[in-house]
Chain A
């Protein structure tokens, strides 16, 4: 547990400021990674903490506060994506071509190590774009598992709790996601080139 005192009534109200302070950056990053929309990520970050505040009496400390907030954030993303009738991700999920274009537009150009050479930065950006492209084609739950594991570096058990699935399901999704990324890398760079990289 990172922050927050759990008592019989759930999380104490006075702890909420410190909970927001501790987790807001991680929750925003998760939402941004899943949605690729900074405005929506900012709004849903607020919604996530407000929902947690409203439901603080139900928190019993069986999982960490971070896992509990992740669970809320993922549900908000699902609601958001379902409710959105037009927009970025709809194009991505429904059209292969627009998926590629959208991913290329959306991928950050800031992927760079301060000490990396321009060539290394370019390579890193290409690699990130390739993974984004593969991830955008995954199913909703596979994408969530992949992001939680490889971006947020959450343990499998916590991912299982946050997504309300078994650890076996998490492993299965990860295996499929890695296969998709591997396939995308081969398509992008070619098998021989990949082996030489």
Chain B
């Protein structure tokens, strides 16, 4: 007669769901097999019953899971397209707005720069002549008019 079933044989039988062959001829092993199967069955039943919850619990769970999920309503491609478009718009606005960074600077008056400067002696001579002149250049029209009036007056006096 075969010796009693060992742990490995019981484990194999539990996995297979069929009792070891030895159980049929051994009352001790049959009792142990039934006790082991019954205990594990009770364990499974307890686990399932403990986890039973009302429908409202599962609904609340789903709501909570959904609320904690980051909202992603756009695909990645669409997001990139939108960001690129936004950058293009900003660039276009900066390019065409007055006072924008793309405004071209006013051309430099090169004539004044390239005009040959008077040399120092000529400049000093011009200053000396202006200072020595009786009539400042700004007063020249007035002086001319005064001399014309004076000449006309003299002419009238001689005729009389």
B102: Cβ under 8 A from any A Cβ: no
Minimum CB–CB distance for B77 against chain A, Å? 11
Query: Closest CB-CB distance, A40 to chain B, in whole Å?
Result: 13
B36 touches A108 (CB 8 A): no
* A156 lies within 8 A of B15 (CB): yes
Q: Which of A165-197 contact B (CB under 8 A)?
A: 171, 174-179, 181-182, 185, 189, 194-197
CB pair B8–A175 under 8 Å, yes or no, is yes
Q: Tell which of A13-21, A60-68, A82-90, A92-100 binds the partner.
A: A13-21
A185 in contact with B35 given A24-B62, A125-B42, A179-B11 (CB within 8 Å): yes
- Asked whether, in the complex, the Cβ of B7 is within 8 Å of the Cβ of A178, the reply is yes
CB distance from B64 to the nearest CB of A (A): 6
CA distance A20 to B65 in the complex (A): 9
Pick the interface stretch among B25-33, B117-125, B128-136.
Answer: B25-33
Which of the residues A29, A127, A189, A197 comes within 8 Å of B47, measured between beta carbons? A29
Contacts of A13 in B (CB 8 A): 72
Q: How far is the CB of A180 from chain B (nearest CB, A)?
A: 9
Interface residues of chain A: helix, strand, loop or mixed (majority): helix
In-complex Cβ contact of B49 among A108, A177, A189 (8 A): A108
Binds A, one of B50-58, B85-93, B108-116, B145-153: B50-58
A149 to B47, CA, bound (A): 12
Evaluate contact between A194 and B61: CB separation under 8 angstroms.
no
Known: A108-B46, A147-B47, A195-B28. A46 touches B36 (CB 8 A): no
Whether B31 lies near A131 (C-beta < 8 A) is: no
What residues of B have a CB within 8 angstroms of the CB of A46 in the complex?
Answer: 61, 64-65, 68
Output the nearest chain B residue to A197 by Cβ-Cβ distance: B35
Whole-angstrom distance between the Cβ of B122 and the nearest chain A Cβ: 83
User: Measured between C-beta atoms, what is the minimum distance from A4 to chain B in Å?
Assistant: 15
Q: How far is the CA of A194 from the CA of B32 in the complex (A)?
A: 6
28 A-B pairs within 8 Å (CB atoms) are namely A17-B66, A24-B58, A24-B62, A25-B53, A28-B61, A32-B47, A32-B50, A49-B65, A50-B65, A108-B49, A110-B46, A110-B50, A111-B49, A125-B46, A128-B43, A131-B39, A132-B43, A151-B44, A171-B15, A174-B11, A175-B7, A177-B11, A181-B39, A182-B7, A185-B35, A185-B36, A194-B31, A197-B34
